[in-house]
Structure 1
Amino acid sequence: MQSTQFDRILRRIATILSVVILSLCLIYVSTGILLSFYYEPTAGGAYRSLKMIDTQVAYGWLFHRAHDLAGNAMIVIALAQIVVMFLGRQFRKSWLIAWVSGILFTLSAIALDWTAMILDWTQEGYWRFNIELGNIEAIPLIGTQLRDIITGGGAISSLTVLHLDTLHNYLISPVAIILAVIHLAALIWQERQMYTEVIEDLDQIPGTSLAES
């Protein structure tokens, strides 16, 4: 498929966005590790520990704020990345890894936000999560079992916070980093292919061959 200048610009933007995504992911994970030194994954204790981080730990409020902003920005940039890749007509088989890793990373970023919903143990987070549990329970056949697994017995408790904290920190976060790295590597590889295509196009124009210059 012949690439236009507009397509090449969009592919370059996609590569830049993948760098931003990886940077945000590293900020999110690194600040999350720092917060975990003081965070208490229990009902009530979660709110108190985050309050203590914001008010008593040196620069704790900054790391907490950076963690929240990076998490929200990851979702926005990941969705924008999919739009840019679509507009850039990146549908070839060689783009399969970039597409799959980009979509899976977007889902991972959303999953990080979802599992963090109740980790601050605020009224807003509690009731939002309660509504989400109702939607999960409505899933045919497995809804009730899935709710019990997430909550640790059906009711929202300290065990629920612990389960979500484990999913958030030890499962989804490493997966998100791996997917971000794969996505960036796939787009860099495509950048090299794009550069090769440009050289081949120039070689086909009389008087513009790189070999002659």
Structure 2
Amino acid sequence: MTYNVLLRKLATILAIAIFTLCLVAAITGVAIAFYYTPSAADANASIEYINDRVANGWLIVSLHDIAGNGLIAVSLVQIVVMFFERQLVLSWIVSWVSGIFLTLSAIGLGWTAMNLDWSQLGYWRLKIELSTIEVIPVVGQALRRLLVGGEGLGTISLEHLFTIHSYLLSAVALGLSIVHLVSVSIDSQAVDRGEIPSEQS
């Protein structure tokens, strides 16, 4: 089995892993959302309640964290594998675009998740990150207001981050993981049949 064939098989396996991680993150995220309270006063206490008092809550939270971090890592590895496989051809455009945007979505999910516990560390980290976002030319101020729902940080800010994390980015990531898996599988099979030329063939 040649080097490029091995990489194609690995790309397919990684696409399956990405979809699986998205699915685990989505299912555990729904379970967490049953008990999580997106309120500046209660968010941290609700996370502690899930960890300490909900049956297997600590396991659900741990699986959610592992799946989220794993999604970022595996998505980045997938980009590297596809690069070394040298499938930088037009026929692989859907695989590339879905993979890149999936990685960005995973990073966005990780960023929003870091602030949902509303701990002191999360609060001050968010303030620093928002000050960085503010200085982006043209869109910085508008983007900051969109993220936090105004000028100050509070419950509305947390509700915005929770909505972006749980509904917007999660749906995008899950959808892109399906598109990526299907496109990588179809493209790999087409290369194996000789219908699409491999860059390294």
- State the TM-score, normalized to the length of structure 1: 0.88
- Of the three residues 108, 112, 118, the one matched with 1:111 is 108
- Of the three residues 56, 72, 75, the one matched with 2:69 is 72
The equivalences for 1:171-186 within 5 A come to: 171-186=168-183
Question: Aligned partners of 1:18 and 1:92: how far apart in 2?
Answer: 18
Residue 124 of structure 1 and its aligned partner are, at CA, apart by 1.7
Root-mean-square deviation (CA, aligned residues, Å) is: 1.3
The residue number in structure 2 matching 1:137 is 134
- What do the CA deviations read for 1:50-101 (whole angstroms, capped 9, x no partner)? 1000000000010001101110010000000000000001112111000000
Question: Aligned partners of 1:147 and 1:59: how far apart in 2?
Answer: 36
The residue number in structure 1 matching 2:11 is 14
The residue number in structure 2 matching 1:210 is none
The residue number in structure 2 matching 1:204 is none
The equivalences for 1:73-92 within 5 A come to: 73-92=70-89
Which of structures 1 and 2 has the larger relative contact order (alpha carbons within 8 angstroms, sep 6+)? Answer: 2
- Give the letter for the 1:142 counterpart: V
- Structure number with greater Rg is 1
- State the TM-score, normalized to the length of structure 2: 0.93
The runs of 5 or more residues in structure 1 that have no matched partner are 199-213
Question: Aligned partners of 1:89 and 1:141: how far apart in 2?
Answer: 36
Contact 1:11 1:191 in 2 (8 A): yes
The runs of 5 or more residues in structure 2 that have no matched partner are 196-201
- Of the three residues 91, 96, 100, the one matched with 2:97 is 100
Residue 147 of structure 1 and its aligned partner are, at CA, apart by 1.5
- Give the letter for the 2:120 counterpart: Q
The residue number in structure 2 matching 1:168 is 165
- Corresponding residue pairs, total: 195
Residue 191 of structure 1 and its aligned partner are, at CA, apart by 2.2
The residue number in structure 1 matching 2:192 is 195
- Give the letter for the 1:93 counterpart: L
User: Which consecutive aligned stretches of 4+ in structure 1 deviate over 3 angstroms post-superposition?
Assistant: none
- Work out the percentage of aligned pairs sharing the same amino acid: 46
